[in-house]
Amino acid sequence: MKKLLLSFAFVGLCGFVGAQKPIVQTYFTADPAPMVYNDTVYLYTSHDEDSTVNNFFTMYDWRCYSSTDMVNWTDHGAVASLKNIAWFDKNNGAWAPQCIARNGKFYLYVPIHGGGISVLVGDSPTGPFRDVLGKRLIDSEHIWNDIDPTIFVDDDGQAYLYWGNPVLRYVKLNNDMISYDKSIGKNGIVSLEMTGEAFGEAVDRDGKPRTKYVEGPWFYKRNGIYYMVYAAAGIPEYIAYSTATSPVGPWTYKGFIMERAPKLAFTNHSGIIDYKGNSYFFYHSESLTGGGGFRRSVCLEQFKYNADGSIPLIVPTAEGVKESLSALNPYKRVEAETMAWSEGLKTAKDNSKGIYVTKINNGDYIKVSSVDFGKGATTFEASLASAAKGGQIEIRLNSTDGELLGTLDVKNTKGANNWAVQSCKVKAAKGIHDLYLVFKGGEGDLFNFDWWKFSK
C-alpha cells in the first residue's frame, strides 16, 4: 500500500479518490460493526489484506478501533485472529464480525467463511477474545451461507442472533450468550420466509423471483421499532432496510438507505448507532488509494431519522463526519495511533507497549482533529524507537505545511523496539486546531512512534 500511496502523492492528490472518506488509512477494513460502551464507540471490522490471494476475499483477522469524538479513531490492532480458532484448519475466512457487551463480558460473534458462525469471549472490548466453545456456535446444515451475524438484546433480556446469505435465519441466544434455545425452528434455527413484502421484490440472474435481501444484516431497535438493515439487490450491493414491531417479524420492506455510487465496492455492509445524541451510519467503500472490491475501507456518515422513524437515503460524501464531537486534550498522553487521517503509515503491536505507529517514511504524516491547546503549550514529548538514523517530527497546525510549532529531532535508540521519551520546545499554540505531525528524514523506515503529549 505504501508504494501506491507514494505514487498517488506524486500526482498531487490525497489518499482517497475524491469519493468516500475512509476512517482508517493504515489498513484495509470492511464490514463495520460499531458498539457503544461506556461513552466510547468501539468499531469492530474485518480486515482485507493488502495482498489479495486468488482474486478473492483475503481475510485473516478482526480489528478494533475506538473514538469518543467520531473523527479521531484509535487503533487497537487485531483483537482476534483465525490463528486462535484451533478447530478451523484454514487461514482465510475472517468475515463480518459483531461484538456486544453483556454480563460484564464482551461477545465477539464471527463468521468463518466455510466454517460457520463462532463466538469469542473477552474481558475487555479490545480483547483478547477466546474461543470458549472450541467449535462453531451455530450448529447448522448451511455453513457455507452462515455469514454476517448480527446480535441484539431486547428490553426483556432476550438476545437474538440473525445471520445469513441469501436467507435470513435467527436463533434465540440463552443468557450465557454462547448457546441458544433448541426448542424453536429446526434444532433451534428459524429460517425466515423471504417474501417481497418483507424484503422487497427482485429477480435473480435467471429471471426467477427472489427478494432484495442479500447479506450483511444489522439488527437493532429504536423507539419501539425493530430495524433490519442489510446489503441488497445483488452485485454491486445497495443498502436497504425492513422494520417490524416484534424482534421476530413479520418484517416490512421500507426501501434503500444507500444506493450505488462511484467508489463503493461491489459489496456493501452497514452498522448503525446513536451516540451522544447523533445517529451514525457506517459502511464500506473501495475509495482508499489502492482499494478495490477485496481491499475495502470503512467510512462513516452522520444522518437524522425522519420524524416517523424511517431512515433517509444517505449519500456517501468525501468529508464523512464533518465535526468532532469534542476537543482533544493534548496535555494528556495521546496514543500515536489516534488519528483523523494519516498518509503512508502502518500500526503494529509490541507486547509491552501495545499498538504503535510504524513504517514511518519521509513525508508521511498524522492528522489529529480539534486539538485544544488552551492558553498554549511549551513542550512536545513523544515515545519513540529507532534502529535507523532517526529523523524529525515537524509539529504543525492546520495542514502539512501549516504554522510550524517546533521540530523534534528523533535520535537513534539502538533498536526499533527500544523506546525512549524525546522532547522539544514548541511555540505556544492557543485555542483549537487540527494538529499535523509531519515526518521527515532520509531513505527507508525512520522510527517507531508510541505516544505523544504537550506540556505547558
Report the candidate in 31, 46, 178, 171 with the shortest Cα–Cα distance to residue 100.
178
Give least dist CB 269 to ligand FUB, A: 4
- Looking at the Cβ atoms of 82 and 435, the one nearer to ligand FUB is 82
Q: How far is CA 45 from CA 63, 110, 243, 449, in A?
A: 5, 10, 25, 24
The CB-of-79 to ligand FUB minimum distance in angstroms stands at: 17
Among 47, 269, 346, 367, binds ligand FUB (CB under 6 A): 269
User: Per the structure block, which three cell numbers stand in for 134?
Assistant: 472450541
Catalytic one of 141, 197, 204, 409: 197
Q: Looking at beta carbons only, is 33 or 393 nearer to ligand FUB?
A: 33
What is the widest separation between alpha-carbon atoms in the chain?
Answer: 70
- Closer residue to ligand FUB, CB minimum distance, 202 or 432: 202
Per-residue binder mask for ligand FUB (CB under 6 A), 117-146, x = binder: ------------------------------
Q: Choose among 427, 319, 432, 426: nearest CA to 369.
A: 432
Beta-carbon contacts of 63 under 8 Å, excluding residues fewer than 6 positions away, are 27, 29, 44, 45, 46, 47, 75, 76, 77, 78, 79
Q: Which H or E element spans position 357?
A: strand 354-358
The CA distances from residue 222 to 201, 256, 368, in Å, are 25, 18, 32
**Going residue by residue from 206 to 245, which x/- string records binding to ligand FUB, judged by CB under 6 A?**
---------xx--------------x--------------
Q: How far apart are CA 146 and CA 163, in angstroms?
A: 7
Q: Is 258 in the site for ligand FUB (CB under 6 A)?
A: no
Closer residue to ligand FUB, CB minimum distance, 283 or 447? 283
Told to judge if 337 belongs to the known catalytic residues of this protein, a careful annotator would answer no
- Map residues 377-416 to x or -, x wherever contact with ligand FUB holds by CB under 6 A: ----------------------------------------
Report the candidate in 356, 344, 379, 388 with the shortest Cα–Cα distance to residue 4: 344
Nearer to ligand FUB, 149 or 441 (CB): 149
Residue closer to ligand FUB (CB basis): 111 or 344:
111
Q: Taking CB under 6 A as the rule, which mask of x and - marks residues 41-60 in contact with ligand FUB? A: -----x----------x---
Q: How far is the CB of 60 from ligand FUB (least distance, A)?
A: 12
Residue carrying C-alpha cell 460493526? 33
Closest distance of CB 373 from ligand FUB, Å: 41
Cβ at position 194, least distance to ligand FUB in Å: 17
Is 394 an annotated catalytic residue? no
Could you say which DSSP state residue 10 is in? H
| Cβ nearer to ligand FUB, comparing 214 with 334 | 214
**CB 342: neighbour CB atoms within 10 A?**
23
271-275 and 297-303 strand pairing: unpaired
Q: Which of 96, 120, 299, 314 binds ligand FUB (CB under 6 A)?
A: 96
The alpha carbon of residue 416 and the mean position of all alpha carbons in its chain are separated, in whole angstroms, by: 28
Q: Tell me if 411 sits within 8 A of 424, measured CB to CB.
A: no
Least distance (Å) between residue 212 CB and ligand FUB = 15
Interaction residues for ligand FUB, span 179-198 (CB under 6 A):
none
**Binding status of residue 286 toward ligand FUB by CB under 6 A:** no
Q: Which residues of 155-181 are buried (b: 16+ CB within 10 A; e: fewer)?
A: eeeebbbbbbbeebbbbbbeeebbebe
Beta bridge partners of 44: 33, 64
Q: Of 29, 45, 267, 289, which lies in the binding site for ligand FUB, with binding defined by CB under 6 A?
A: 267
Output the CA torsion sign for 293, 297, 302, 306.
positive
Nearest to 235 by CA among 260, 200, 262: 260
Site string for ligand FUB, 16-45 (x = CB under 6 A): --------------xx--------------
**DSSP secondary structure string for all residues of 241-299:** EEEESSTT---EEEEEEE---TTB-SS---EEEEETTEEEEEEEES-BTT-BTTB-EEE
Give least dist CB 422 to ligand FUB, A.
Answer: 40
Choose between 267 and 324: whose C-beta lies nearer to ligand FUB: 267
Asked if 148 touches ligand FUB (CB under 6 A), the answer is yes
198: helix, coil or strand?
helix
The residue within the footprint of ligand FUB, chosen from 1, 147, 328, 446 (CB under 6 A), is 147
CA–CA separation, 449 and 350 (whole Å): 11
CB of 195 vs ligand FUB, minimal distance in Å: 22
Count of residues that interact with ligand FUB, criterion CB under 6 A = 13
> Minimum distance between the CB of residue 120 and ligand FUB, rounded to whole angstroms?
16
Catalytic residues: 31, 197
Per CB under 6 A, residues contacting ligand FUB are: 30-31, 46, 57, 95-96, 147-148, 215-216, 231, 267, 269
